[in-house]
């Protein structure tokens, strides 16, 4: 029963994301009601990655739920599972992607621009392109975080290719390293 509630909550949240409509951009409907150039449905079971090859991040495991391939490049949706206390990326920005974070379980402190926010289960935050951002996981129990990028760009390739957190690697994938990761000490001041 708990999975059913989580899925319902997930669907409600996703239905409210304005950028999802971009996934059908450029398609047309024929006289028979069939969409030309439509992308096939992609089912991903709970706890699974769409290709059955999750990516270990060191502080979590990433499961890709919706790929840019599934959406003609308009959206990438991934889930951090098993987030560990103190884990998170360095401060960075994306030149071409907006990024959205939704806390499924646990607690995160996020920094977007010069503001910091404490997010608990059910909270979300949007980080526009060209705005520095980072997060740190602060709960004691492992958590889950849903992240969306629009457009998808090369973000899935970044994570699958080794996801280095250095300036050179970020630059290869359309990002800029801005500074060190948030710490638990930083988070304690929020």
Digit-coded pLDDT (tens) for 54-110 = 898 888 899 999 999 989 999 999 999 999 999 999 999 999 999 999 999 999 999
Contacts with 100 (C-beta within 8 Å, 6 or more apart), sequence order: 17, 124, 125, 126, 127, 147, 148, 150
DSSP 38: P
Q: What pLDDT, on the 0 to 100 scale, is given for residue 163?
A: 82
CA gap 181, 28 in Å, rounded: 44
pLDDT in tens, 118-156: 999 999 999 999 999 999 999 999 999 999 999 999 999
* Residue 125 CA, distance from chain mean position: 11
CA-wise closest residue to 78 among 106, 99, 107: 99
Cα 168 from Cα 72, distance rounded (Å): 27
């Amino acid at each position: 029963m708990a999975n059913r509630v989580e899925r319902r909550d997930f669907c409600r949240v996703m239905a409210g994301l304005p950028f999802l409509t971009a996934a059908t951009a450029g398609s047309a409907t024929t006289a028979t009601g069939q969409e030309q150039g439509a992308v096939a449905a992609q089912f991903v079971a709970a706890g699974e990655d769409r290709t059955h090859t999750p990516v270990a991040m060191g502080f979590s495991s990433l499961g890709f739920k919706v790929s840019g391939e599934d959406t003609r490049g308009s959206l990438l949706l991934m889930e951090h599972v098993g987030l560990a206390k103190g884990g998170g990326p360095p401060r960075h920005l994306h030149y071409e992607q907006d990024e959205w974070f939704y806390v499924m379980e646990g607690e995160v402190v996020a920094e977007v621009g010069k503001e910091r926010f404490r997010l608990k289960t059910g909270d979300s935050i949007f980080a526009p392109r060209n705005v520095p951002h980072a997060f740190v996981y602060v709960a004691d129990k492992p958590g889950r975080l849903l992240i969306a990028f629009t457009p998808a760009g090369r973000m899935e390739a970044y994570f699958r290719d080794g996801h280095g957190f250095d300036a050179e690697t970020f630059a290869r994938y359309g990002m800029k390293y801005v500074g060190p990761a948030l710490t638990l000490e930083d988070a304690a001041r929020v």
